[in-house]
Amino acid sequence: MGIVTGAEYLKRMARLKSNVWMEGKRVECPLTDVEPFRSVLKAKGKLYDMVHDEQYASTLQGKDQKINFSYDIPRTKDDLVKRRKATQLWANETLGVLGRSPDYVNTMITVMAGAKKFFSEADPQFGENIDAIYKRAKEEDLTFTHTFVNPSISRKPFFPDGQGNEQPIATKIIEETEEGIIVDGARLLATQGGMTDELLVIPSAAFIDSDYLFGCTIPSDTEGLTFINRPPYKKESTFDSPLSSQFEEGDAIVVFDHVLIPWNRVFLYRNEWLMNDLFMKTGMESFLLYQAINRQIVKTEWLLGIAQALVTTLDIERHQHIQGKLGEMIIALEAMVGFVYSSEAQAEVNDYGIMVPKLESLKACASYYQMTYPRLIEIIQLLGASHFIAAPSEKDFASSIAPYLERFVKGEYVSAYDKFQLIQLARDMTMTEFGTRQLLYERYFYGDPVRVLSSLNGLYSKKKEELQMRISDFFEREK
């Protein structure tokens, strides 16, 4: 099959029988027929159609033109550049707000398969398994989400059940059979949980013992697998909620109720040493950040565009403090672009022949954006100010009071309708439930900001020692 069309993708999603719950009810009808799933699936379908569009094909198709770009294993710096352009092209279609566009987890699968020898160190079969998972995924153009966060009660991955037994909370291996392993427990924060072909499960770095240490992929409609989605954000029209009406992804708790995972689906198993090296040695951490930061660059471009449109519409650019705020956003955008270019320029081939962008540059960028994104949102809020508070709706403009709106709240150079269409876009990006979820997502996308900084500090240990030696060398020169 290779590259699917949007229609083929949606047809496949309609057949998916995932056990999805939302607001206390199981979703019984096809996901393509019910909100909020229908809209975001449609948005993803458009991404697949772009791959077939002659205008974008050279960027979005793989080198052999038989797969989409996310399944290409980068071997050269030119491959990285192509991946950057493709990632940004897809991200632009969704304003950078879609955290689980197909290329995100596809990238993880691709990089792990490129490093199949890493998994073979424990057992040659595990290397063959990840390779088979990858080949099937690219041939069928599958979509994935992933889960790796352990739930905990009082920081423990298990809890007494009242009868003296320890009941698993975090998902753990409870039995090994000839067919595979049986796991029980839960994982957190599967964005688009239940609405992708498959689920990638990787161990949390905070595992307690080897019972919690396994990596695999399984179909989203595997027996015993349940996705408990948070309530959807309120949606109105595309005028009132232009982003949440199209790109609401959902986030789910994943429950594994004695789920059987076949052995041929397992690629990492009870091996602490491999787990500790998984993200860095394979290059997966670099590529996860590379995809995410390129998405964030596009998102920042849209934020700057929204800010400039507000400034123009409200006719306030003559004020220096407004120019300064736009300048802050420009600095953020240029810094992000610079981090990515730096990672590409310093990319090196790893032990598995994969051209890996420089991790230090990307992790520094991830930390920078965690701190910077809230300020970008604040700037847009400051620019829109009270216009965000009493913004009329699409129904107001369709009613008999529309002439009042055009008389009293129009822009200097635009109609009231056009002015508040922009205002609603800015509100949805910054102030609605959707917008505040985006804020929290970018704050914690790559984990606790303090831990990210600490990790970056550790990565720089050798470089810091070299720099410190310069100080000693300087004093030696003075003697």
Beta carbons within 10 angstroms of residue 116's beta carbon: 20
Residue 369 lies in a domain: yes
**Shared-domain flag, residues 56 and 109:** yes
**Cβ proximity of 152 and 165 under 8 Å:** no
Co-location of 307 and 396 in the same domain: yes
Tens digit of each residue's pLDDT (9 = 90 or more) over 271-282: 999 999 999 999
76 and 186 part of one domain: yes
Check whether residue 186 and residue 67 sit in a common domain: yes
Q: What pLDDT, on the 0 to 100 scale, is given for residue 209?
A: 86
How buried is residue 201: exposed, middle or buried, by Cβ count under 10 Å (0-12/13-18/19+)?
A: buried
pLDDT at 397: 97
Q: Are residues 290 and 271 in the same domain?
A: no
Measured CA angle at 245 (ends 243, 247), to 5 deg: 60
* DSSP code of residue 452: H
| Number of domain units in the chain | 2
3-state secondary structure of 28: coil
Residues 265 and 288 in one domain: no
CATH number of the domain within which 75 lies: 2.40.110.10
Structural domain contains residue 476: no
Backbone dihedral angles phi then psi of residue 249, each to the nearest 5 degrees: -85, -30
Q: DSSP E strands: which ranges in 157-302? A: 158-160, 166-168, 172-176, 180-191, 198-201, 214-219, 225-229, 251-262, 266-269
Q: According to the model, what pLDDT value does residue 151 have? A: 86
241 with 348, same domain? no
Determine the structural domain holding residue 83 and report its residue range. Answer: 6-276
CA distance linking residue 257 with residue 184, whole number of Å = 5
Question: In the listed set 276, 300, 326, which residue is the last one of a domain according to the structure?
Answer: 276
Do the domain assignments include residue 309?
yes
For every one of its 479 residues, what pLDDT tens digit does the chain have, with 9 covering 90 and above?
679 999 999 999 999 999 999 999 999 999 999 988 999 999 999 999 999 999 999 999 999 889 999 999 999 999 999 999 999 999 999 999 999 999 999 999 999 999 999 999 999 999 999 999 999 999 999 999 999 888 877 566 666 655 656 778 899 999 999 999 999 999 988 999 999 999 999 987 766 689 999 999 999 999 999 999 999 987 778 999 999 999 999 999 999 999 999 999 999 999 999 999 999 999 999 999 999 999 999 999 999 999 999 999 999 999 999 999 999 999 999 999 999 999 999 999 999 999 999 999 999 999 999 999 999 999 999 999 999 998 999 999 999 999 999 999 999 899 999 999 999 999 999 999 999 999 999 999 888 899 999 999 999 999 999 999 999 999 988 77
Rg (CA), the chain: 24
Residues 427 and 450 in one domain: yes
Whether residue 312 is found in the same domain as residue 266: no
Q: Is residue 269 part of a domain?
A: yes
**CATH number of 329's domain:** 1.20.140.10
Quick one: pLDDT at residue 159? 61
In a domain, 479, yes or no: no
Indicate whether 477 belongs to any domain.
no
Judge if 136 and 98 occupy the same domain.
yes
Q: Which of 220, 253, 276 is the last residue of a domain?
A: 276
345 and 315 inside one domain: yes
Same domain for 216 and 308, yes or no, is no
284 in Cβ contact with 222 (< 8 Å): no
Which residues fall in the annotated binding site for FAD? Answer: 191, 448-451
Domain stops at, among 276, 298, 333: 276
Residues 6+ apart with CB under 8 A from 47: 6, 90, 93, 94, 101, 102
pLDDT, residue 157, reads: 62
Q: Provide the 10 A C-beta neighbour count for residue 468.
A: 10
Whether 118 is in a domain gets the answer yes
Contact 441, 295 (CB under 8 A): no
Task: State the pairing for strand pair 198-201/144-147.
Answer: parallel
Alpha helices in 4-102 (DSSP H): 6-15, 37-52, 57-60, 77-93
CA nearest to 22, candidates 177, 253, 264: 253
Please tell me the pTM assigned to this model: 0.95
pLDDT at 164 (0 to 100): 58
Distance between CA 31 and CA 52 in Å, rounded? 24
**Is position 478 within any domain?**
no
For the annotated binding site, the residues are: 191, 448-451
- For residue 196, the SS3 value is coil
Which token pair is 71?
A: 């399944």
